[in-house]
Amino acid sequence: MNWRGWGIIAAACALTLVGMPAEAAPPDELAQRLERVPGLTVVAERPTEPGFRLFDLTFAQPADHRHPEAGTFQQRLTLLHRDTSRPTVLHTTGYGLPTSTYRTEPTQLVDGNQIALEHRFFTPSRPEPADWNDLDIWQAATDEHEVISALRGIFDRQWITTGASKGGMTAVYHRHFYPDDVDGTVAYVAPNDVDNAHDAYDGFLSSVGTDPACREALTAVQREALIRRPEMIAKFQAFADEQRMTFDRIIGDIDRGLELVVLDAPWSFWQYRGQQDCGQVPAPTASTDEIYRFLDETVEFAFYTDQGVEPYAPYYYQAGTQLGWPDVSDEPLADLLHHRELSQPRNLVPREIPMEFEPGVMGEVDDWVRSRGSELMFVNGQNDPWSAEPFEPSPLDSHSYLVPGANHGADIAGLPADRRAEAEATVRRWAGVEAPELRSTSLDQRRVERHPL
């Protein structure tokens, strides 16, 4: 399966909204207030759209919140400032900071300020030296809690948290440990692997889409790629040499890298593409160039190199210690494989980093969401493999939506009109705002980033 889907996509709605007239502080007043926040450093202010101010910031966090005397690290964040009279949305991808600035769908819906927070251990937001025992869901949730607490003196209206995929999971974990920090949470395409030993993903992949022939074609092209292993490896090696990419430090060797790409193909296809692209799946009689190109467009060969995987080691570490991971059967390819169980996270984390799985952690979160969690919204895609194991919310002003035909980029805007209106009204109610009028701004264009989840 495509680990970069656990990561998640950082998706923003293409809908654009106008807010109330901004009454911005004098040019230096906001910066001065930010500089007075203990632990917060204003790194720079960058140009952005009219009506907004964009700040690069860092915040001093304990490497271990249980032992703050043991040292700190600087956690990166950005502030997209609208007006202190507006609500504030805290957004995380669950990975590093997004590569471009965009307003998430909840930020647009409430026309608010937005803080984007980098997850701990994604460089450069990593303690030095790094004790990987300090990378767990409570430590990350406490990072969010500390940032919200520090900035509430400036942004004292309602707060919403949000994220997609691993970012959505991260937002839910924060609410589990600090349920009263914010007024609502919108989690997009966030998987909920309650019992890591029992997965629903094989059943989902055997029935997803409207055309069984599409699923059969995906298996056929996987098999053909492995039958043509020498040709595929030659092309992969030429690419790796050109890009100065390696396989020996984490992946193991190029043969394992190729099998990871091939194994990922159906998962990635449904995660990022979908039924509309079934006609683009090459036939077994296609040229090696065509098959290689399809796999590269769907999975990306560059990802399964040492250089592609290494930035995501913190995610794989979390998957292998607390979050769990999808166990997808490789039996349809078993007679052609040289390696088995390659997609387990232990194979994607440097060997010098110790890992031990903690069963039951996700079960505790799931129990809280089902029975006591409130003001939670889950938005999933009908054709997204990660939505096969969703969170089930409690009746305490919590909601779940399944976007018809959507993949890992599912959002509220894709819902049928009545359900969309209901969901948008709920988010605005949590934020204490009315629906603003529409406008156009390039800041609000949809942004999609690939991650392992």
Measured distance CA(302)–CA(236) in Å, rounded:
9
Give the pLDDT band (50/70/90) at residue 244: very high
User: What is the per-residue pLDDT across 278-289, written as a single tens digit (0 to 9) for each?
Assistant: 999 999 999 999
Peptide bond into 129 cis (omega under 30): yes
Specify the pLDDT at position 16: 34
Return the closest-CA partner of residue 91 out of 72, 113, 114.
114
Measured distance CA(125)–CA(450) in Å, rounded:
20
pLDDT at 13 over 70: no
Bigger pLDDT: 38 vs 23: 38
Measured distance CA(167)–CA(122) in Å, rounded:
13
pLDDT at 437 over 90: no
pLDDT at 15 over 80: no
Residue 135 exposure: Cα atoms within 13 Å on the Cβ side: 29
Measured distance CA(129)–CA(127) in Å, rounded:
6
User: What is the per-residue pLDDT across 164-212, written as a single tens digit (0 to 9) for each?
Assistant: 999 999 999 999 999 999 999 999 999 999 999 999 999 999 999 999 9
Measured distance CA(34)–CA(246) in Å, rounded:
43
- The mean pLDDT of 124-133, rounded to a whole number, is 97
Specify the pLDDT at position 2: 53
DSSP codes joined into one string, 104-156: -HHHHHHT-EEEEEPPTTSTTS--SS--GGG-SHHHHHHHHHHHHHHHTTT--
Secondary structure of residue 237 in the 3-state scheme: helix
Specify the pLDDT at position 446: 43
Question: Quick one: 165 exposed, middle or buried, by C-beta within 10 A (0-12, 13-18, 19+)?
Answer: buried
Tell me the pTM.
0.92
